Amino acid sequence: MRVLSGIQPTGSLHLGNYLGAIRRWVKMQDEAECIFFLADLHAVTVYNDPAELRANVNGMAAALIACGIDPEKSLVFNHARVPAHPEMAWLLSCTARVGWLNRMTQFKEKSGKNREGASVGLYAYPILQAADVLLYQTTHVPVGEDQKQHLELCRDIATKFNADYGVELFTLPEPWIGESAARIMSLRDGTAKMSKSDPSDMSRINLVDDDDTIAQKIRKAKTDPEPLPDSVDDLAGRPEALNLVTIYAALTDRTPQSVTGEFAGKGFGAFKPALAELLVQTLSPIRARLNDFAADPAALDSILQQGARKAAEMAAPTLEGAYRALGLPRGI
């Protein structure tokens, strides 16, 4: 079992990233060979200030480690340091079909009305994501719900390449979407996902938020005047309430049903302080570890460099195999 996943190093980590992905990455470290990387080549599909991006790569690496990713157990690197990623992406872009990419909903959402003005990289990015996964013969990819379509595309590309060239080069990866926390929603709108790009900071809990900010964001989170029902099914049509219950359940490793069971009949005046306390308990130790790391950027650079060296070694045989399958002589 080989587990791989990535995250864009833009902005800071939020609760959606943590519950939807990273917490599950941490748990996998003792059960499988794990590879976690910062998708910085993904970040440049839109304009990012170069100095800020550089700082964010280190900042995000520190955040992953603060959340419990152990570079002694897992491979941690940023993919700009491993040229096999964009190289494989080019080879795969010759297998991927334009029609497949045209169906990617994330491109539609991100380009919005400005499709013609979006970068080619933003459009083709899911192919780079497929390269990220396929280079390492990955078997499982733990991600949130929003990445499911990209992983289906990855499987389609792998299947077509293997079939077109009569090889069994690529392993088909399983998208591994968590059950309850697959889609953590905005605190201001229960129908929009919690996201780094939401202009309102009140819509998300950042892992760097201090205790008072967390409490304030939960206090101000949008809800409704009804008490919590005893069955989670009765939260249908109450997306904000369901989201808060989902967060509570994910933080305590319980089902949403068991949370509604406990709080049935109580209003948000009782539920929100309990949730805020739970969040503070979970996030404040992570924040403390993050602050320790911020003081030592050289240590982070060295972790990322070592990770990249190992990653390049691991990726080489699959990249070679792809060139060979295509009939391309390689090297000078």
The catalytic residue positions are 110, 193, 196
Binding mask 95-114 for ligand TYM (x = CB under 6 A): --------------------
DSSP secondary structure letter of residue 113: T
Q: Counting beta carbons within 10 angstroms of the beta carbon of residue 300, is it exposed (0 to 12), middle (13 to 18) or buried (19 or more)?
A: buried
Contact assessment for residue 79 and residue 43, using Cβ atoms and an 8 Å cutoff: no
| Smallest gap from residue 193 Cβ to ligand TYM (A) | 4
Handedness of CA 248, 253, 255, 260 (dihedral sign): negative
| Residue 175 binds ligand TYM, judged by CB under 6 A | no
Structural contact between residues 195 and 186, judged by C-beta atoms closer than 8 angstroms: yes
Q: Does 20 bind ligand TYM (CB under 6 A)?
A: yes
39 touching ligand TYM, by CB under 6 A: yes
The encoded tokens of residue 60 equal 């995000």
132 binds ligand TYM (CB under 6 A): yes
Check binding of 57 to ligand TYM (CB under 6 A): no
Phi, psi of 32 (to 5 degrees): -150, 170
Cβ pair 85, 131 in contact under 8 A: yes
Nearer to ligand TYM, 144 or 190 (CB): 144
| 129 touching ligand TYM, by CB under 6 A | yes
Among 23, 24, 193, 217, binds ligand TYM (CB under 6 A): 193
- Cα angle vertex 19, ends 184, 63, to 5°? 120
Nearer to ligand TYM, 69 or 143 (CB): 143
Give the closest residue to 34 by CA, choosing from 75, 65, 6, 66.
75
For residue 281 the two structure tokens come to 């308990």
133 binds ligand TYM (CB under 6 A): yes
The residue (of 140 and 238) whose beta carbon lies closer to ligand TYM is 140
| Site stretch for ligand TYM (CB under 6 A), options 189-197, 259-267, 270-278, 306-314 | 189-197
Q: Does 82 bind ligand TYM (CB under 6 A)?
A: no
* Residues near ligand TYM (CB under 6 A): 5-8, 16-17, 20-21, 39, 42, 129, 132-133, 141, 143-144, 146-147, 182-184, 193-195
